[in-house]
Chain A
Amino acid sequence: MSETITVNGVSQPLPDDVRVSLLDFLRQHLGLTGTKKGCDHGQCGACTVLVDGFRINSCLTLAAMHADQEVTTIEGLGTPEDPSALQRAFVEHDAFQCGYCTPGQICSATALLEEIRSEWPSDASDDLAAPTLTDEEIRERMSGNLCRCGAYANILAAIRQVAEEDA
């Protein structure tokens, strides 16, 4: 297949084997091992990436389905020298223990901030037309990202801080 996909701004040829998931393509073909494989069944969220700005589980989609689309992984959000606001806040709040779920958490939260800016409602919203930013909202919106170490309180604090800076 001569089709391409753009990952973190760089155009890449799609794999020949159509079975390759977007997750395996990122990790094994491109060496972008920031994106993690947890459950490989869309339950844990460790594989969360952004496709054309929307957060998805990269384990539950084929790379071939994303020809001509733009993928952003944790490597595309910031660098150790120049971290994103969320990456900095996660460090500041100690929002992890083992760190395995962290790239997925940060990709997910990056999209969450945009969704809140767009006033998208969630299951926790009292008012579908104008959701307000509460801890309950952030918890609900992050329910697709599990943390086996249980760093949820600090993850919440990190996201809340950036969301408030944003507002």
Chain B
Amino acid sequence: MRPFDYIRATDPTDAAERTSAPGAMAIAGGTNLIDLMKLQVETPDTLVDVGRLDMGSIEEAGDGLRIGALVTNTATAVHPKVRADYPVLARAILAGATQQLRNKATTAGNLCQRTRCTYFTNIDQPCNKRAPGSGCGAMGGVARLHAILGTSDQCIATYPGDMAVAMAALDAHVHIQGGRGGDRQVPVREFHRLPGETPWQDNVLESGEIITAVTLPLPVKGKQIYRKVRERSSYAFALVSIAAIVAMDGGRIARADLAFGGLAHKPWHDPRLADLLVGEAPSPALFEKAADVLLDEADARGGSEFKIPLARRTLTAVLTEATETRT
């Protein structure tokens, strides 16, 4: 590991200021960052430890639930209110990593985790995300974990997490402090970016900005499902995952909030799906139509062609379960 300075931030403002210095990075749980530092994918000059800041509680706010940036994934998943009212979030977190990692991983760190593309984590390989302009080893390479939606000529990496997929379905908001624009809120659906021409930018967080919390809206009615398809039954990243909140009213779909993991550089949310599904009576034909819409621009460059039919089948399975449709 390259040498670096280690300092502890005293409050969020101090953290925002110190991480705005060139070569400085915030560290909380560190499970992803320290791994990448060992691989020399990340080589910060300064680590600003934000782990002891007062952002580690879950509070009921009038308009929903506020989860502090430093709440561990474990604490979120076991919280009685999350288990009762936001089971899709508890399920998504529990489907990720291991108990050891979830005990360390934080809300903000999980949102900011880097892709697990093996060309990104191997410094001997070209990667436009790690070394801009060096090319992409994954295109035409071994790319089973890679994106089929929203890719660019520069990058086909996926956002690897589960938690943010559930948060995208729930339409949660990220609270950000500091930076030139002052405090701001960004919907989770808009927090992560598509790679475009700047694949090194994973999300909209700017230098000198610190995530302070994520807020969940008031609980909604309906069935909540998190379905994750992976290559082994535990401790593996998603090939395809779906967070679904689906409500029925009088035999018709009244709500269909869907977000997808494993398919893109961000938790994927396509507003056309709710437009198509809401107001309709559920049927296998309708679900196939939804999959047509989801995948109309799907493009696999690498070895991930199998994800296109897999995403179709997973979507129809989730909608069938959520609407209790007989097939």
Using CB atoms and an 8 Å cutoff, list the residues of chain A in contact with chain B: 18-19, 21, 40-42, 45, 48, 54-57, 60-62, 64-65, 108, 111-112, 115, 118, 120-123, 125, 128-129, 139-141, 143-144
Contact = CB atoms under 8 A, between A and B. Distances in A.
B40 interface: no
Interface string B23-58: 000010111001100100000000101010000000
A108 B49 CA distance: 26
Best-buried of B6, B31, B74, B100 by chain A (most CB within 10 Å): B100
B162 to A, nearest CB: 10
Given A42-B100, A55-B103, A143 B234 contact: yes
Contacts of A115: 99
B3 interface: yes
Contacts of B29: 61
B78 interface: yes
Classify chain B: how many residues form its interface, as a range: 35 or more
Given A55-B100, A121-B90, A61 B34 contact: yes
B87 interface: yes
Contacts of B1: 19
B83 interface: yes
B203 to A, nearest CB: 22
B130 interface: no
Contact of B99 (A21, A55, A62, A65): A55
Contact of B49 (A55, A60, A65, A120): A65
Contact of B98 (A19, A21, A121, A144): A144
Contacts of A40: 38
B84 interface: yes
Contacts of A64: 6, 49
Given A48-B100, A62-B34, A140-B234, 8 more contacts: A18-B5, A45-B100, A54-B103, A56-B103, A61-B34, A118-B78, A121-B94, A144-B99
B49 A123 contact: no
Contacts of A125: 94
A60 B104 contact: yes
Contacts of A57: 31, 100-101, 104
